[in-house]
């Protein structure tokens, strides 16, 4: 079987092949995927690893890998391959020519485990009460890394905008309780029609307050109630803050939110003391903090690591025909947390409308 270092990124695009294959584990595969979808090129993704014949012999493509058929497109095979090659120069992604529709392990190109990928059309709410830092990190990831346009909608203008033009809404850390009942219903209808709501940080509590999700929080240790000198207040309260630490999580690599991760251990950056129990649905917590030796780097308050161990780092919930994805932590911290990038990309591309993969 052929193996390769994807850093070399050859582009084997043959117009006479059956399809093109892209290993999803590559860093810039999501950027290439958006470019393809924006061009109107149909792309499918495998929900399991497959072994298939390429122009250089049998290769293995991991779960989440992209299959780009060269027939049934609105472009000729040569136009598709020329476009992929042009994007390859920009994103440095290895592409393989697949010489047949049947995989060596029996998974054919028409198999139901090969699902169509839809173009994300995303909106996020900004304004009073919403973290401008995390909104900026979200915009930077979407616009600068993926090339994917993101609508930044001020909370006060939500009532004047139709959400039918979008299939994904992202709520970063912030307070959304002032949106008003009409807008609460508007977002709920958006989800139930098949939309995806991605919540991070304190926006999880907003989703919980609307009964869109069933989150069970684990309370962090409370300060002592015995009288203490006022001069100790800053030191005591500061000692109970998680200003930024790195923790180990364990990923379910068979779950769409974890496609493309190289192994089951993923380091995440955590700010704040929000901790949540695992979902009642056994399949709905694809990412959880490891049950031991969770802390990897940084300061944590006494007793905090023990409560974090084994808790949820990602939860998925269905609501009507749509999905609410919950991430207690910021996956896009300061624009350089690459492990979080991949999980967020999976939330964007593999959980949009008409996707049959939600828990």
The CATH number of the domain holding residue 325 is 3.40.50.880
300 found inside a domain: yes
357 found inside a domain: no
Are residues 164 and 97 part of one domain? no
Are residues 332 and 207 part of one domain? yes
- Residue 4's pLDDT is what? 43
218 found inside a domain: yes
Are residues 213 and 275 part of one domain? yes
- Residue 101's pLDDT is what? 61
Are residues 227 and 146 part of one domain? yes
Are residues 24 and 156 part of one domain? no
354 found inside a domain: no
**Last residue of some domain: 116, 138, 171?**
116
Q: Taking the chain, what is the end-to-end CA distance rounded to the nearest angstrom?
A: 34
**In sequence order, which residues have a C-beta less than 8 Å from that of residue 181 and are 6 or more positions away?**
none
9 found inside a domain: no
Number of residues written out for the chain: 359
Neighbours of 308 (CB within 10 A): 24
- Residue 198's pLDDT is what? 97
CA distance 25 to 62: 8
70 found inside a domain: yes
Are residues 207 and 138 part of one domain? yes
Task: Identify which of 243, 182, 174, 241 has the alpha carbon closest to the alpha carbon of residue 205.
Answer: 174
- Residue 109's pLDDT is what? 55
Q: Is 122 exposed, middle or buried (0-12, 13-18, 19+ CB in 10 A)?
A: buried
Task: Decide if 210 contacts 251 (C-beta within 8 A).
Answer: no
Task: Decide if 329 contacts 267 (C-beta within 8 A).
Answer: no
Are residues 144 and 45 part of one domain? no
Neighbours of 144 (CB within 10 A): 10
Are residues 101 and 151 part of one domain? no
Are residues 272 and 159 part of one domain? yes
For residue 226, the enclosing domain spans: 122-349
148 found inside a domain: yes
- Give the chain's radius of gyration (CA, Å): 22
Find tokens 């992604």 and name the residue.
93
Each residue's pLDDT, cut to its tens digit, for the chain (359 residues) gives 343 434 345 566 777 788 899 999 999 999 999 999 999 999 999 888 888 877 777 788 888 999 999 988 999 999 999 999 999 888 889 998 887 666 655 555 556 668 899 999 999 999 999 999 999 999 999 999 999 999 999 999 999 999 999 999 999 999 999 999 999 999 999 999 999 999 998 999 999 999 999 988 876 555 555 665 655 444 444 445 554 688 889 999 999 999 999 899 999 888 777 888 898 888 899 999 899 888 787 667 777 778 888 899 999 999 999 999 999 988 987 767 777 899 999 999 987 534 444 44
**Last residue of some domain: 78, 93, 116?**
116
Task: Identify which of 210, 215, 221, 232 has the alpha carbon closest to the alpha carbon of residue 308.
Answer: 221
Q: Which two tokens stand for residue 116?
A: 């169509």
Are residues 178 and 220 part of one domain? yes
**Last residue of some domain: 116, 145, 160?**
116
Are residues 313 and 178 part of one domain? yes
77 found inside a domain: yes
CA distance 1 to 80: 27
Task: Decide if 28 contacts 111 (C-beta within 8 A).
Answer: no
Q: How many domains does the chain have?
A: 2
Are residues 105 and 175 part of one domain? no
Helices (H), the chain: 29-38, 77-91, 132-139, 181-192, 203-209, 233-239, 304-308, 338-349
């Amino acid at each position: 079987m052929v193996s390769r270092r994807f850093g070399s990124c050859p582009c084997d695009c043959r117009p006479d092949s059956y399809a093109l294959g892209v290993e999803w584990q590559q860093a810039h595969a999501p950027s290439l995927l958006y470019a393809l979808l924006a061009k109107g090129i149909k792309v499918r993704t495998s929900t399991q690893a497959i072994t298939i014949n390429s122009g250089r012999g049998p290769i293995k493509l991991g779960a989440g890998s992209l299959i780009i058929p060269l027939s049934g497109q609105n472009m000729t095979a040569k136009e598709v391959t020329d476009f992929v090659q042009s994007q390859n120069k920009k994103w440095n992604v290895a592409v393989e020519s697949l010489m047949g529709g049947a995989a060596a392990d029996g998974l054919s190109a028409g198999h139901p485990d090969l699902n169509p990928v839809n173009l994300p059309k995303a909106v996020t709410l900004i304004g009073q009460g919403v973290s401008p830092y995390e909104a900026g990190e979200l915009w930077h990831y979407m616009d600068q890394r993926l090339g994917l346009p993101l609508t930044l909608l001020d909370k006060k203008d939500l009532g004047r905008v139709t959400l039918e033009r979008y299939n994904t809404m992202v709520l970063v850390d912030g307070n959304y309780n002032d949106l008003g009942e009409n807008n609460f219903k508007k977002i709920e209808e958006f989800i139930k029609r098949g939309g995806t709501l991605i919540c991070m940080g304190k926006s999880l509590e907003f989703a919980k307050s609307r009964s869109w999700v069933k989150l069970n929080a684990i309370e962090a240790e409370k300060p002592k109630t015995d009288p203490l000198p006022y001069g100790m207040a800053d030191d005591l309260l500061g000692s109970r803050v998680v200003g930024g630490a790195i923790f180990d999580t364990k990923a379910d690599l068979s779950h769409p939110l974890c496609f493309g991760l190289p192994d089951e251990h993923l380091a995440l950056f955590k700010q704040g003391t929000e901790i949540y129990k695992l979902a009642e649905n056994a399949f709905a917590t694809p990412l959880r903090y490891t049950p031991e030796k969770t802390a990897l780097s940084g300061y944590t308050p006494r007793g905090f690591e023990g409560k974090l161990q084994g808790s949820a780092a990602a939860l998925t919930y269905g609501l009507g025909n749509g999905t609410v994805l919950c991430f207690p932590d910021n996956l896009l911290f300061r624009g350089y947390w690459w492990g979080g990038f991949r999980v967020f990309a999976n939330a964007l591309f593999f959980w949009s409308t008409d996707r049959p993969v939600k828990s």
